[in-house]
Amino acid sequence: MKVEEILRKKGTRIGMVRINETVATALRLMKAENTGALVVKDVCRTEGNTVVGVISERDVVRALVDRGPGILELAVSALMTRDPYCCSPSDPVRHVLSLMDEHGIRHVPVLEGSTLVGVVSVRDLIRRQLEDMRADDIAPVAVAGSDGWDFPVVANQ
Compute the distance between CA of residue 4 and CA of residue 89 in angstroms, rounded to an integer.
Answer: 4
Cα-based torsion angle of the residue sequence 51, 125, 103, 22 in order, rounded to the nearest 10 degrees: 40
pLDDT of 149 strictly over 50: no
Q: Is the distance from CB of 41 to CB of 15 less than 8 angstroms?
A: no
Q: What is the pTM of this model?
A: 0.78
57 vs 155, higher pLDDT: 57
Q: pLDDT of 40-70, one tens digit each?
A: 998 755 455 678 999 999 999 999 999 999 9
Residue 150 CB-density burial (10 A; 0-12 exposed, 13-18 middle, 19+ buried): exposed
Rounded to whole angstroms, the Cα distance separating 3 from 125 reads 10
